[in-house]
């Protein structure tokens, strides 16, 4: 059964020239854990080619998902580039 919230897919593309990414990895993970605990993340994980990662946020609006994604320390510190799209599973 689908939830009332929409799903938003967020790709974080690593800036390979930025050394800061490894420095803030634990802060980035802690930031996401807060939303996992609140039930606002459906799935997350790194790309196997180490180019970045993906987060599927559960949000009431695009604006809410955008706020969560844009305030991620990895985005704020410019170690990763954010791509945010609305996504809906077609699995019932």
- One-character DSSP codes across 4-49: SSEEEEEEEEE-TT-THHHHSHHHHHHHHHHHHHTT-EEEEEE-TT
Query: Angle 6-7-9 (CA atoms, 0-180°, nearest 5)?
Result: 150
Instruction: Give percent of the chain with pLDDT exceeding 90.
Output: 47
Using CA of residue 80, residue 66, residue 38, residue 46, what is the dihedral sign?
negative
Residue-wise pLDDT for 43-70, tens only, equals 999 889 888 889 999 998 899 999 999 9
Q: What is the pLDDT of residue 10?
A: 80
Q: Is the predicted pLDDT of residue 3 greater than 60, yes or no?
A: no
């Amino acid at each position: 059964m689908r939830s009332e919230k929409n799903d938003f897919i967020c790709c974080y593309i690593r800036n390979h020239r930025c050394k800061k990414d490894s420095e803030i990895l634990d802060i980035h993970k802690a930031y996401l854990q807060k939303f996992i605990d609140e039930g606002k993340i459906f799935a997350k994980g790194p790309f196997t080619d180490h180019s970045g990662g993906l987060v599927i946020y559960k949000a009431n609006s695009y604006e809410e998902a955008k706020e969560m994604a844009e305030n991620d320390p990895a985005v704020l510190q410019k170690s990763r580039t954010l791509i945010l799209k609305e996504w809906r599973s077609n699995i019932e």
